[in-house]
Amino acid sequence: MRGRLGRRSTSNGGFAGAAGHGGSGGGRRGPLRQKMGRRGIFLLPSLLTTGNLFCGFFALILTLEQRYPEAALAIFVAMVMDLLDGRVARLMRATSQFGVEYDSLADVVSFCVAPGFLLYSFALRDLGRPAWFGAFLFVICGALRLARFNVQTGTVDRRYFVGLSTPAAAGVVASSVLLLDGRDMTRWMEVAVAAGSYIVALLMVSTFRYWSFKEIDFARRRPVRTLLVVVLGIMIVATHHELFLFALFSGYAMSGPLRRLIVGRVTAPTPAEARPGDTH
């Protein structure tokens, strides 16, 4: 009996050591791992983030099939999904570190890889190595922009983005494709698109400040004329959506440098002016 108990305790000790790389460490880490497994994830925000990721992947497939307008529309749908998952997570008080990391990985696909590949396949593939390097620069600057955003969350003024956000940069690319689709791409037009890709990529990793629109409270009561203005704006955009979407995203991309010229460089805000848990 004593020998049997000895063998049982030895086997249990060996199991704990194998699981935790040490007796006491394994005992502490086992319940913690079980606790994290029981917590799970928030389903609705994660489903919206998954929809964002799916739209980015679908845009890649449409680009391979040379269905460029549909690929651009898929990127716009991904932007809507990205906007909704952050709003829903904050309304449900369902923000988590898992959601932040998952959202960033989805954004790399939808707003970095998919627009970069669309840009190359639509306008840059005939220009040689400098052109595809411009498409890759768009991808890597977008990834760096997302990494910097995650690091700076909670330490910067939430009213502004530092650098052009990746959804806005992807919007510039997608709206450009919608605007130029069906036209004969001349050599000068391709060079202009290549130069624009370099500019947009560098704006993402710049220190220009862009309004984040996070101060707008959609739950607050508004005058009736506000609804009329919003509906009128949607109707104007719908009449010539290719032109107005391009003007909207391009104007927003240029607002950062213009603000720097008009206002000048401002001092960095204190951490108290920022709120942790914000997503772009």
Domain boundaries, the chain: 41-215
Handedness of CA 129, 79, 53, 57 (dihedral sign): negative
Q: Quick one: pLDDT at residue 157? A: 65
- Taking the C-alpha atoms of residue 252 and residue 258, their distance in angstroms, rounded to an integer, is 10
> What pTM was computed for the model?
0.75
Q: Quick one: pLDDT at residue 145? A: 92
Q: Is the pLDDT of residue 273 over 60?
A: no
- Per-residue pLDDT of 202-240, as tens digits, reads 999 998 988 877 666 656 666 777 778 888 888 877 788
List Cα–Cα distances, 119 to 47, 48, 136, 181, 194, in angstroms. 28, 25, 10, 12, 9
Q: What is the mean pLDDT of residues 88-104?
A: 80
- Taking the C-alpha atoms of residue 59 and residue 75, their distance in angstroms, rounded to an integer, is 7
Q: What is the mean pLDDT of residues 185-190?
A: 86
pLDDT tier at 33, thresholds 50, 70, 90: very low
Length of the chain: 280
Say which residue the tokens 């939808």 belong to: 110
Q: Which CATH superfamily is domain 41-215 in?
A: CDP-alcohol phosphotransferase transmembrane (TM) domain (1.20.120.1760)
- Taking the C-alpha atoms of residue 87 and residue 66, their distance in angstroms, rounded to an integer, is 33
- 277 vs 280, residue with greater confidence: 280
- Taking the C-alpha atoms of residue 17 and residue 129, their distance in angstroms, rounded to an integer, is 54
Token pair belonging to 202: 């560098």
- Give the angle subtended at the CA of 26 by the CAs of 24 and 30, to the nearest 5°: 130
Q: What is the mean pLDDT of residues 67-75?
A: 95
pLDDT tier at 23, thresholds 50, 70, 90: very low
Q: Quick one: pLDDT at residue 85? A: 83
Report yes or no: 115 and 170 within 8 Å, Cβ to Cβ.
yes
* 220 Rama sector, left if φ>0, alpha if ψ -120 to 50, beta otherwise: beta
Q: Quick one: pLDDT at residue 92? A: 77
Task: Average the pLDDT over each of 37-41, 66-70, 177-181, 224-228 and give the range with the smallest value.
Answer: 37-41
- Taking the C-alpha atoms of residue 214 and residue 261, their distance in angstroms, rounded to an integer, is 23
Q: Is the pLDDT of residue 123 over 80?
A: yes
